[in-house]
Structure 1
Amino acid sequence: DDDDENTWTPLQLAAAQGDLPLVKQLLTQQPPPPQNDPNSAPRGYYGQTALQAASLNGHLAVVETLLRAGAAVDLPGGNNGGRTALVLAAGAGHLGIVRHLVDAAGAEINRPAHRYNGRTALQAAAEGGHVAVLRWLLARGADVNARPAGNRGRTALQAAASEGHDAVVELLLQHPDRVEVNAPAVRYQGVTALQGAALAGHRATVRRLLAAGADVNAPGGQYKGYTALDAGAD
């Protein structure tokens, strides 16, 4: 069933598991069956291409092999999030894979976030608290204020603040391209940076954001929206 989130091709499964010998065997099988195409579309709600699966799980050798076999670097993932290989690697903190996807394969650093629960590469790194990945992406021109997904999206600062990643928050606040401290909450389940920190109880983050000019009375998202005071009261 193509709608089954567990419906993966053999190549996608081998890539996810980091089984390099099997990946090579499948790619060289003759005549090549359609399911061994490195660009077979992800199936189901959370599906991934072979390259996305290898990138998420940190298998650099598999990533390199798939790229040599013609894997397209910027294909979107399944319906929920539509995350590219670069976004998945950044969110998992795999700096070596992030660098390879950009430098060797030309992955688009500022590719817009998928409309539903998507992230840019920088937003994903910030959400995961991966400072080294974040620094590298910023040095390569990642947009610190990139627009978040309209549905459950967060800017890089909103994501870092909501997760309590103070080192990431500080890095973003000190960036030469002034980060938007009061970037508005997205319409569906969105929060400002201050609201996200208050809702999660990250007091040090709240204090730092207030010192940076965060608006305590900013409205939240239109669905389940909070002001910072509402969030703190919860």
Structure 2
Amino acid sequence: MILYPAIDLKDGQAVRLVHGDMDQSTVFNDDPAAQARAFVEAGCEWLHLVDLNGAFAGTPVNAAPVEAILKSCPVPAQLGGGIRDMATIEGWLDKGLARVILGTVAVENPDLVREAARAYPGKVAVGIDARNGKVATKGWAEETDVMVTDLAKSFEDAGVSAIIYTDIMRDGAMGGPNIDATAQLARAVSIPVIASGGVSSLQDLTQLKDTGVIAGAISGRALYDGAIDLNAALTALKG
């Protein structure tokens, strides 16, 4: 199971939100590229980047720090937030991003997901953010009537590389991930599922790994706070 350290970008800084609330943000580093390099030096194999402003604006906002990270870090990175058309997808992949994460557009324009996945095999992931089992969009500000599993299954034949599943009520709250719901989703689809939201201890990571069906886990606040030692976590997940 791969551990993805998260760098959430707001106003050019690396922050963490609580329950996705932009008004409840904590700045952890005003130099996101330096933070990314620290994660890479600790041994991480991937980076997970989120353009928080972009998720609300519907277009990339924190391009400069993302580009700085891509230029200075040798490991692959995936990015979500504000990626809602083919031109933006192509632009990011041309700049060296390994994988784009399509969230809101996966609900509003699923044909774009299919088109992008065909055009760029292995480089398109779907981000499914859920509140009480239903998909939320536009930076988690809008809740839909779409069920998580239904949305995931609709992309079974699309060629997407991964599903990043976030339980919004767990995100940034250090209360542990929704392991049961994540494992249930992973068993329902053949697409690799990455857990996000609430991963706050080494025990959380080992429990996710022990399900045998979850391909990866994203953690942010716990790495910044020191609740998870990145070196110890990477060693445990390789064991």
TM-score, normalised via structure 1 length: 0.32
* Structure of higher RCO (CA pairs closer than 8 Å, 6+ residues apart): 2
Comparing both structures, which one devotes a greater share of its residues to helix? Answer: 1
Comparing both structures, which one devotes a greater share of its residues to strand? Answer: 2
Rg larger in structure: 1
TM-score, normalised via structure 2 length: 0.31
